[in-house]
């Protein structure tokens, strides 16, 4: 950034005219070098994890480390999937994450529609009540939430966990969707209503399809939050049959301190779904941005 | 299509009384609609977020036990006064503060750098953008253990690298010592976090109309002036947003500390929430844990309020 600030004044004023952030000198080479360095820093440790997942389990904790396994093996993946009911944890995580996304997006779009399209008493108050919790991370409420689930007999259940995830993710999802809904012209909605559509039809038949990029992006955020959560699941789940992936992985390494190979193989498998969801949403991210450009 | 449905509706309002009745029903329905739309979200939010906030404060005044049949005596402010006499709290507060002061600026600087580099056309920028964001979507358990293995005393990548440079075998047990462990926790947190501030800054920079930059340059503005008057003002709201959320996140750091060191050795890497968590779920001192968490919430709430206030004043 300092580079741009210190850029010398160009000799000819005509040269200075450029639409980019860096004006006359786009500094493509320097920018490319920085981009490559940052990208390498970002994915380097993950590539190393990939390499570790193909390293024979008896090669861990050796005298020296190597970036690429000497004699790569697929055995870790077989061990990871068959031992430790890993497949079971995987399915638990899929169930909880998908349910969290569906419930959160459904409830949030109803609420966001109310905030975006209706004027009613206490509207601002209710909206700020939702927003206020963004200043209190869900994590901070683990103690009272634990006591609450205990009271509701929802402790150690995937249903209880899902409800906590939904509640934690609702405020941001409502906030994000409301902004997008407000950008949809009211006339379209009126035309749709004249055709006899009720409020719910307007939402499901018109608003949501038009908001698909926004829905895709919040779905990705919510999926990640549920898939990745460690503290809440650690606190609320007790029995191994209910473990989600992060808890399964954590106990995996705790129970078999020497099983690094299968652990990193399991880690790779656990990362794949989030990566897929991210890559899919990337497509929508782009169309969301270009859609915003048209308006 | 539109004409047809208007005609269809008309027969319903033939009788005047019926029309009035249905109009009133319509008005009631219209009044109720937003509340009906809000009800499901509000119900879940009230039960699982708002009530726990109240409950947290509530039990912080009790010596709370969860064992069946145990009594939970009211202890007034004693949990809070205990906070100020607990030596571990001092370490934890210091570590949390240090974590904020180190990781937040680092994430902001790296995020800004990445956004500035990647906002305009660059070969392969879609790939670089995705790559920089990927650590954000990974799981804390997974990446914490990857870092733990990189910094492992035996067979760890870092020690192997250092051994090559030093010319003799280096065997530092990074995770087992206070300051090296803190260093690994900071490094991991910045690595996993800066992609998030990157996308917020990227959105802010992408949002600057490029014609505006061009126009300023046509008018003869120097690059320095273009940045001062166009780019930096456009970044300011994003900067406030990122700062507030990063500080909140950093002050409540938990997962990576819990996984890597569990606050050890001897509580020396403990942060505030890992200590509150340990009090509640290891020592079963729920009231004390709740008091620590409540105090932290109040401080953070005050911080966000002041910060947002300051931003509003800047805009005006």
Lowest mean pLDDT among A41-50, B118-127, B131-140, B252-261: B118-127
Average pLDDT over residues B96-114: 97
Q: Calculate how close chain B gets to A84, using CA atoms only, in Å.
A: 16
Tell me the residues of chain B between 211 and 230 that have a Cβ less than 8 Å away from chain A: 211, 213-214, 217-218, 220, 222-224, 226-227
User: At B62, phi and psi to the nearest 5?
Assistant: -125, 155
Lowest mean pLDDT among A130-144, A247-261, B7-21, B47-61: B7-21
Question: What gap in Å lies between CA B43 and CA A121, rounded to an integer?
Answer: 18
A-B interface: how many C-beta pairs under 8 angstroms?
304
Residue B125's pLDDT is 84
Question: What gap in Å lies between CA B68 and CA B61, rounded to an integer?
Answer: 19
Whose tokens are 């739309």? That residue is B37
CA A165, A168, A171, A173 torsion-angle sign: negative
- For A280, the 3-state DSSP assignment is helix
**Is B214 in contact with A17 (CB distance < 8 Å)?**
yes
Question: What gap in Å lies between CA A156 and CA A239, rounded to an integer?
Answer: 7
Residues 6+ apart with CB under 8 A from A23: A4, A7, A16, B213, B217, B223, B226
| Identity of the highest mean pLDDT range in A209-218, A230-239, B220-229 | A230-239
Neighboring chain B residues of A58 at a CB cutoff of 8 Å: none
* Cβ-based neighbour number of residue B229 at 10 Å: 13
Question: What gap in Å lies between CA B274 and CA A257, rounded to an integer?
Answer: 23
**Is B195 in contact with B112 (CB distance < 8 Å)?**
no
Structure tokens at A123: 């509207």
Residue A13's pLDDT is 43
Residue A2's pLDDT is 34
Domain contains A217: yes
Question: What gap in Å lies between CA B284 and CA B296, rounded to an integer?
Answer: 19
**Which of B1, B27, B38 to probe by mutation at the A interface, max A CB count within 10 Å?**
B38
Domain contains A57: no
Residue B37's pLDDT is 95
Residue B316's pLDDT is 54
Residue A18's pLDDT is 64
Residue B315's pLDDT is 59
- Residue numbers of the domain that contains A201: 78-294
CB-CB under 8 Å, B120 with A26: yes
Maximum CA extent, chain A: 75
Task: Give the residues across from B74 on adjacent strands.
Answer: B62
Counting Cβ atoms within 10 Å, is residue B226 exposed (0-12), middle (13-18) or buried (19+)?
A: buried
Q: Does A261 touch chain B (CB under 8 A)?
A: no
Average pLDDT over residues A134-163: 92
Q: How far is CA B159 from CA A68, B154, B156, B163, in A?
A: 16, 8, 6, 6
Residues 6+ apart with CB under 8 A from B156: A65, B149, B150, B174
**Is A99 in contact with B192 (CB distance < 8 Å)?**
no
| Percentage of residues of chain B with pLDDT beyond 90 | 54
Greater model confidence, A182 or B70: A182
Residue A63's pLDDT is 67
Lowest mean pLDDT among A30-39, A149-158, A254-263, B236-245: A254-263
Read off the pLDDT of residues B235-261 as tens digits, 9 standing for 90 and up: 888 898 899 899 999 999 999 999 999
* Cβ-based neighbour number of residue B211 at 10 Å: 10
Whether the pLDDT of residue B2 is over 70: the answer is: no
Q: Which domains does chain B have, with CATH numbers?
A: 2-59 (no CATH), 87-315 (1.10.3720.10)
Structure tokens at A52: 């570790």
Neighboring chain B residues of A258 at a CB cutoff of 8 Å: none
**Which of B45, B111, B127, B199 to probe by mutation at the A interface, max A CB count within 10 Å?**
B45
Residue A275's pLDDT is 93
With bands split at pLDDT 50, 70 and 90, how would you rate the model's confidence at B31? confident
Read off the pLDDT of residues B183-209 as tens digits, 9 standing for 90 and up: 999 999 999 999 999 988 988 888 888
With bands split at pLDDT 50, 70 and 90, how would you rate the model's confidence at B7? very low
Domain contains A16: no
CB-CB under 8 Å, A231 with B117: no
Q: What is the mean pLDDT of chain B?
A: 87
Question: What gap in Å lies between CA B41 and CA A40, rounded to an integer?
Answer: 41
Residue B9's pLDDT is 46
**Is B253 in contact with B273 (CB distance < 8 Å)?**
yes
Q: What is the mean pLDDT of chain A?
A: 85
Domain contains A54: no
Residue B213's pLDDT is 84
pTM of the full structure: 0.88
Query: What is the rounded (10 degree) CA torsion for B78, B80, B86, B91?
Result: 170
With bands split at pLDDT 50, 70 and 90, how would you rate the model's confidence at B15? low
Read off the pLDDT of residues A176-234 as tens digits, 9 standing for 90 and up: 899 889 888 988 888 888 888 888 999 998 999 999 888 998 999 999 999 999 999 99
Whether the pLDDT of residue A290 is over 80: the answer is: no
Domain CATH code at residue A195: 1.10.3720.10
Average pLDDT over residues B263-272: 91
CB-CB under 8 Å, A166 with B142: no
Whether the pLDDT of residue A14 is over 50: the answer is: no
CB-CB under 8 Å, B113 with A35: no
Q: B12: alpha, beta or left, given left = phi > 0 and alpha = psi -120 to 50? A: alpha
Neighboring chain B residues of A263 at a CB cutoff of 8 Å: 145
CB-CB under 8 Å, B205 with A21: yes
Domain contains A200: yes
Whether the pLDDT of residue B13 is over 60: the answer is: no
Tell me the residues of chain A between 120 and 149 that have a Cβ less than 8 Å away from chain B: 120, 123, 126, 129-130, 132-148
Query: Nearest 5°: CA angle at B229, between B239 and A34?
Result: 55
Whether the pLDDT of residue A134 is over 50: the answer is: yes
With bands split at pLDDT 50, 70 and 90, how would you rate the model's confidence at A9? very low
Lowest mean pLDDT among A74-88, B5-19, B143-157: B5-19
- For B62, the 3-state DSSP assignment is strand
CB-CB under 8 Å, A13 with B248: no
Q: Does A61 touch chain B (CB under 8 A)?
A: yes
Residue B16's pLDDT is 67
Domain contains A36: no
Who among B34, B132, B206 is closest to A118 (CB)?
B34
Please give the tally of structural domains in chain A: 1
Q: Calculate how close chain A gets to B292, using CA atoms only, in Å.
A: 10
Domain contains A67: no
CA atoms within 13 A on the CB side of A253: 21
CB-CB under 8 Å, A35 with B114: yes
With bands split at pLDDT 50, 70 and 90, how would you rate the model's confidence at A255? low
Task: Give the residues across from B62 on adjacent strands.
Answer: B74
- CA-nearest of B202, B209, B183 to B242 is B202
Who among A7, A35, A267 is closest to B223 (CB)?
A7
Domain contains A65: no
């Amino acid at each position: 950034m300092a580079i741009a600030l210190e850029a010398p004044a160009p000799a000819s004023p005509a040269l200075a005219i450029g639409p980019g952030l860096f004006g006359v000198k786009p500094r493509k080479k320097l920018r490319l070098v920085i981009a490559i360095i940052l990208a390498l820093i970002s994915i380097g440790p993950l590539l190393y994890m990939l390499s570790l997942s193909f390293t024979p389990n008896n090669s861990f904790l050796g005298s020296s480390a190597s970036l690429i396994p000497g004699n790569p093996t697929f055995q870790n993946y077989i061990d990871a999937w068959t031992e430790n009911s890993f497949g079971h944890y995987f399915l638990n995580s899929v169930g909880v994450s998908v349910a969290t996304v569906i419930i959160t997006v459904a409830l949030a779009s109803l609420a966001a529609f109310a905030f975006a399209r209706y004027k009613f008493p206490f509207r601002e108050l209710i909206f700020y009540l939702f927003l206020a919790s963004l200043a209190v991370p869900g994590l901070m409420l683990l103690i009272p939430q634990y006591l609450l689930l205990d009271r509701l007999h929802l402790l150690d259940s995937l249903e209880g966990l899902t409800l906590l995830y939904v509640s934690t993710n609702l405020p941001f999802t409502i906030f994000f969707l409301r902004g997008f809904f407000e950008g949809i012209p009211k006339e379209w909605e009126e035309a749709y209503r004249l055709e006899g559509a009720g409020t719910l039809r307007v939402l499901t038949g018109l608003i949501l399809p038009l908001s698909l990029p926004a829905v895709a992006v919040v779905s990705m955020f919510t999926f990640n939050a549920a898939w990745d959560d460690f503290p809440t699941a650690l606190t609320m789940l007790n029995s191994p049959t209910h473990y989600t992936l992060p808890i399964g992985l954590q106990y995996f390494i705790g129970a078999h301190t020497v099983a690094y190979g299968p652990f990193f193989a399991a880690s790779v498998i656990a990362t794949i779904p989030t990566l897929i969801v991210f890559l899919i949403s990337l497509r929508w991210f782009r169309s969301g941005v270009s859609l915003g450009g048209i308006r | 299509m539109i004409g047809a449905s208007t005609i269809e509706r008309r027969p319903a309002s033939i009788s005047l009384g019926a029309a009035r009745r249905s109009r009133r029903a319509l008005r009631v329905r219209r009044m109720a609609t937003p509340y009906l739309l809000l009800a499901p979200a509000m119900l879940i939010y009230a039960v699982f977020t708002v009530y726990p906030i109240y409950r947290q404060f509530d039990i912080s005044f009790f010596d709370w036990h969860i064992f069946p049949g145990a009594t939970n005596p009211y202890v007034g402010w004693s949990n809070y006064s205990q906070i100020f006499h607990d030596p571990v709290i001092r370490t934890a507060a210091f570590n949390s503060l240090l974590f904020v002061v180190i990781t937040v600026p680092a994430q902001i600087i790296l995020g800004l750098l990445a956004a500035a580099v990647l906002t305009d056309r660059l070969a392969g920028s879609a790939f670089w953008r995705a790559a920089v964001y990927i650590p954000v979507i990974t799981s804390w358990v997974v990446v914490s253990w990857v870092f733990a293995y990189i910094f492992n005393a035996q067979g760890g990548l870092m020690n192997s690298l250092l051994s090559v440079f030093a010319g003799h075998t280096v065997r530092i047990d990074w995770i087992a010592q206070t300051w090296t462990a803190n260093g690994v926790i900071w490094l991991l947190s910045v690595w996993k976090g800066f992609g998030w501030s990157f996308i917020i800054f990227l959105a802010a920079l992408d949002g600057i109309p490029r014609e505006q930059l061009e126009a300023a340059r046509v008018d003869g503005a120097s690059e320095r002036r273009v940045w001062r008057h166009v780019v930096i003002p456009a970044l300011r709201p994003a900067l406030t947003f990122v700062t507030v959320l990063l500080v909140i996140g950093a002050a409540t750091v938990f997962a990576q500390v819990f996984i890597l060191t569990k606050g050890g050795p001897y509580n020396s890497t403990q942060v505030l929430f890992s200590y509150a968590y340990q009090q509640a779920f290891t020592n079963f001192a729920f009231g004390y844990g709740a008091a620590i968490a409540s105090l932290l919430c109040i401080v953070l709430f005050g911080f966000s309020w002041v910060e947002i206030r300051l931003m509003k004043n800047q805009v005006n």
